[in-house]
Structure 1
Amino acid sequence: MTKKRFVTVLALLVSLAVLVTGCGGTQSAQSDNKGPVKIGFFAPVTGPAAADGESVLNAAKLAVENINNGGGINGRKVELVNYDDALDSKQAVSIAQKLTTKDGVAAVVSGSYSGTTRASAKIYQDAKIPMISAYALHPDITKTGNYMFRQSFVGPVQGKAGAKVAVDMLKAKRISILQVDIDFGKTLAAGFTEKAKQLGAEIISVDSFSTGEKEFTPVLTKIKQLNPDLIYIPGYAAECSQIVRQAKELGITAKILGTEGADSTVQFLGVAKDAANGVIITTNMNRDSDRKIVQEFIKGYNQKYGHKPDMVAASTYDAFMVLATVMKSKGTEPDKIRQGLSEIKDYEAVTGLIKGYNKIGEVKKSVQIQIVKDAEFHYYGEVSDEDIITPPSE
């Protein structure tokens, strides 16, 4: 064989090898596209926030089940890849590394609190994997980057809405604040204080408590002596249930205004019982809505898990349904999901009409106000003022 002929044959063999490899790669990609769409999820299923963790995991499973029963993502099943972070930031970081390097997820939903979500956000951002925070409200989560989105209100929005309720709706002039001493309580209290002062109210005391605390008689006795018109409590359900019970035992007559942290049918209503009657909260869900999507979600969740859902469940469910809607129309590649989320407008969700996500991923929608009557949450009002519900864009 001449040198020229040898070179020609070699070139043909190389071309054939490339063609075969290319075909194999195409077939593999097509096979992948027929496989399940994986969505990552993390929540505090064990540890001090286990009640919320169980609630949001239930909602995530229900959402995936409903998506798949409806045909999946253009025929592809959704697979839930879920982990328990136990409300531990180190575990949340480890989970984020697994989801972004080993599990092959297209997107992630955080069903956890601000501390764990904030700690792991940069990992998802650096991996360019879209993450929706279902209900964690610290502003730094979305500020991490353009792949971060939030399903519930950022803290300052809900805090300002609470001030609107306290001063304009409940006519409070002298207000005491009793907050949980973590991101959640601090962020809500800051937004509330700023707006309440603008509206002409006076903050006469600010006290903090730790998660897991059970004895509030001393601080409530001090607050009673100050005789406020209203006590604002940005805290979680376990502590809030004890606060309202002990406040009633002490004969405190001030109105009590809570937040979405107390929005729990089991941990708050189930524990506080009659002492919760009359308590008002700012939250992300209107149980009395006549919208079909709301009532179907409540009915479906109740039938499956034996109790009515709370706000964290509704917010988590919505996060999955928004992702599914975007994937069906834009595709399952992370960059297309991110682009699709940024373009969402007037989306009908369980937690209300999502008007859209702004340039840093903050959702815009009305804040729901619920009041406890006969051991159940019911409609009290809605805050839709543009200056309150429009989230910060930087």
Structure 2
Amino acid sequence: MKPQKYFLILFLILFVLGCGKKEEEIIKIGAILPLTGEGAVYGEAVKNAAELAIEKINKQGGINGNRLMCIYEDSQGRSELAVRVANKLIDMDNVNVIVGALSSSEVLAIAPILNKKQVILISPAATNNEISNAGEYIFRTIVSDIYDGAAMAKFAIEKLKIKSASVFYLNEAGPKGVANAFVRNFEKSGGKNLLIESCIRGDKNYRTQITSLKRTNSDAIYFALYPEETQNFVKQIRELNVDKILLTHQLIDDPKVLKFLGKSADGIYFTTPGVELNNPNGNYSKFIQEYKLHYKTDPINFTSNTFDAIMLISLAMKAEGINAINIKNYLLKVRDYNGASGIFSFDINGDIEQKMLIKIIENGKPTIYAKD
């Protein structure tokens, strides 16, 4: 065979093989997180959980053979920055799904942009009940304040037989929302709210408000705060010897908060989403094991919710492609999803429906007290 003919045949074979091989694409999603500033500890932990999920998805073949990657943007927990980076992710990076933001105020600020541009948002942490009406492209993998506050109000009335309560909250969209839900449902069930006090971000001394709360004849105090404020509030309320039942929500269940407070947190009741706590083969336990193996530390609040958000995005893309409308329609049909953060379904507003647990802190450690 002549050399020219040999090389021609070889070229044709390589050309045909090259044409038959599909080049791997990269499917991009975005994330808006507080990677610097006060909320950085949560932003970094949530980023870790997202990367854990993405690594797992790509090891299992990605999105129908294409690799998934996430572009992370730092909002510092500020609404104006969240708006800026949301526009950047959509207009410059061309993502059609964003995970975040963590605060309710950020989500409410960027929701109009995402709805207008038909981009999916899944928040793993924003709880304010106004998000339920924030638009058809807005989802979350954490329960709304309505369920959280309602569960504690019901427990306080029916199980603890509390007849009156006072309330203390941080004047931010998330804590304020859950406090309002407690107040509304507590009164609806026959309880009386004797005093409502608040603080703003950056306050560290609550002794004036605590003194006012102490003077009331209320049986209990319900407080809704971020972790740092929770530490200071509980520490000061113990120092002032306030003899009332203390009730709160899931943000007290944070390793750093519990370590800081120690046994001074004993006796505090709080709400938390129901998960398979005692099942070593359950998805919650598997997530904890995988997270600790990768990052040599325990996962904190919102990490399991983030893991679930990424996994659900991948399932939607595998089934329906990357079109945002198709992803939205897929998510709205999700029922009884068994995730790292528990079993849940999406309702028509993109909120999750999930049973709640009541825990009590004993010897510095949370333990299940009652199921919703």
Structure 1 length as normaliser, TM-score? 0.84
Q: Which residue of 2 aligns with 1:281?
A: 270
* Structure 1 equivalent of residue 311 of structure 2: 321
Match of 1:86 among 76, 82, 86: 76
Equivalent residue number for residue 9 of structure 2: none
Name the residue aligned to 1:73. Answer: 63
SS in 1 for 2:193: strand
**1:269 alignment partner AA:** L
Identity %: 29
Q: Distance in 2 between matches of 1:62 and 1:227?
A: 49
Question: 2:13 aligns to what?
Answer: none
| In 2, Cα distance between equivalents of 1:376 and 1:287 | 17
Q: Which residue of 1 aligns with 2:137?
A: 147
**Is the partner of 2:283 in helix, strand or coil?**
helix
Matches within 5 A, 1:102-251: 102-251=92-241
Q: For residues 343-362 of structure 1, give each alpha carbon's deviation from its aligned partner in whole angstroms, at most 9, with x where no partner exists.
A: 111110122211x2222212
Deviations 1:242-263 (A, max 9, x none): 1111112222231211112323
Q: How does 1:250-269 map to 2 (within 5 A)?
A: 250-266=240-256, 268-269=257-258
Aligned-pair distance for 1:285? Answer: 5.5
The answer as to 2:361 corresponding to 1:372 is yes
Q: Which amino acid aligns with 1:272?
A: L
Letter in 2 for 1:282: T
SS at match of 2:302: helix
Question: In 2, distance between residues paired with 1:292 and 1:150?
Answer: 22
1:287–1:214 distance in 2 versus 1, CA, 3 Å: farther
1:222 Cα offset (Å): 2.1
Q: Is the deviation greater in 339-348 or in 73-82? A: 73-82
In structure 1, the partner of 2:4 is: none
Report the aligned-residue RMSD: 1.9
Shift of 1:287: 7.1
Bigger mean CA deviation after superposition, 100-109 or 341-350: 100-109
What is the TM-score of this pair, normalised by structure 2?
0.89
Structure-1 separation of matches of 2:138 and 2:82? 16
Unaligned runs of 5+ in 1: 1-26, 384-394
Aligned partners of 1:177 and 1:292: how far apart in 2? 36
Question: 1:204 aligns to what SS in structure 2?
Answer: strand
Query: 2:251 corresponds to which letter in structure 1?
Result: G
Q: Displacement of 1:142 after TM fit?
A: 4.0
Query: One-letter code of the match for 1:122?
Result: P
Gaps of 5+ in 2: 1-18
In structure 2, the residue matched to 1:36 is: 26
Query: How many angstroms does 1:84 deviate by?
Result: 0.9
Partner of 1:45: 35
**Could you report, residue by residue, the CA deviation over 1:252-307 in whole angstroms, capped at 9, with x for unpaired residues?**
231211112323212x1122122112222212354724152010111222233333
Report the Cα distance in structure 2 between the residues aligned to 1:326 and 1:382, rounded to whole angstroms: 31
The CA distance in 2 between the partners of 1:218 and 1:85, in whole Å, is: 33
- For residues 105 and 126 of structure 1, the distance between their equivalents in structure 2, rounded to whole angstroms, comes to 14
Name the aligned partner's letter for residue 114 of structure 1: S
Q: Deviations over 1:326-367 (max 9, x none)?
A: 22222222221111101111110122211x222221211112
Q: Deviations over 1:49-83 (max 9, x none)?
A: 22222222222122212222232222222101111
Q: Secondary structure at the match of 1:80?
A: strand
Aligned-partner residue type, residue 77 of structure 1: R
Contact 1:260 1:282 in 2 (8 A): yes
Question: How many Å apart are 1:227 and its aligned residue?
Answer: 4.1
